[in-house]
Amino acid sequence: MSIRFTVLASGSTGNATIVQCDDATVLIDAGLSVKKIESLMQERGVAGHHLDAILVTHEHSDHIKGLGAFARKFELPVYANEATWEAMERHVGQMPEEKRVVIETGETVAFGSMRTTSYAISHDAAEPVGYIFEDGDVKLSLATDLGYVSDKVRLAIEDSDVLVLESNHDVDMLRMGRYPWNIKRRILSDIGHLSNEAAGEALCQLLTDRTKRVYLAHLSLDHNLMDLAKLTVNTILESNGFFFRKDEYPLRDTYHDRPTPWDEVKRK
């Protein structure tokens, strides 16, 4: 059993990820224009008609900007909880009733051999969620737009083979940045975004012998740098006794404007 995925784009300018198993392919979020999503998918050899469904984490525009138009173009079912549907419905436009699929937070849905389970996260949205994907004993967890990593979130995503984890901002860069204070306060709050430091501290509890790779995601263009995020996270990991050889260094990049290479998650 195995799962393949590519993070098509990650950040405040738009988010989209493709996850697939041998017999199903799903898109998580559609926070860019239809044209851009198709272009990014084409770079990874995927077309809209290959998809089986779209899963939505929450209703912010960087996660649903192209959702309605994309779903209608390819006649795809869209999965989200009821509160998210209510919050995003006026933004995504009219959806055929049979394509409007309501799933409860915590519910598990099957796409081919792949099981997908949502879990509640802390963010300033109606009912935001992350997603876990499992095929056999393989586990991939997507965890972004987190105000903080609660015990429930940790229990949901711990012991993942691969983890896509938010590392949104450097706290000092954010505090000295150009945003007005009310926005800075929101980002720094428990319903905002995870800082580099918070990501590193969370990983100290999340990394196990099973964990192969961690993708740092949803980086701010204004208040972070990938090299800084990886340096900060790795420094915290090393200070807590985690050391990695260069050939097994687990931290991976994501990008706001191009997809990550395909990554196959499987057990040896």
**pLDDT at res. 1:** 78
Mean pLDDT in each 10-residue stretch from start to end of the chain (268 residues)?
95 97 97 98 97 98 98 98 96 94 98 97 97 96 96 96 97 93 94 97 94 96 96 95 79 97 87
**Nearest residue to 141 via CA among 252, 198, 215, 197:** 215
**pLDDT at res. 211:** 92
Strands (E), the chain: 2-9, 16-21, 24-28, 53-55, 78-80, 100-102, 108-111, 114-120, 129-135, 138-143, 162-166, 213-217, 251-252, 263-266
Return the CATH number at 82: 3.60.15.10
**pLDDT at res. 266:** 84
Domain of 97 in residue numbering reads as 2-266
**pLDDT at res. 243:** 82
How many folded domains does the chain comprise?
1
**pLDDT at res. 246:** 67
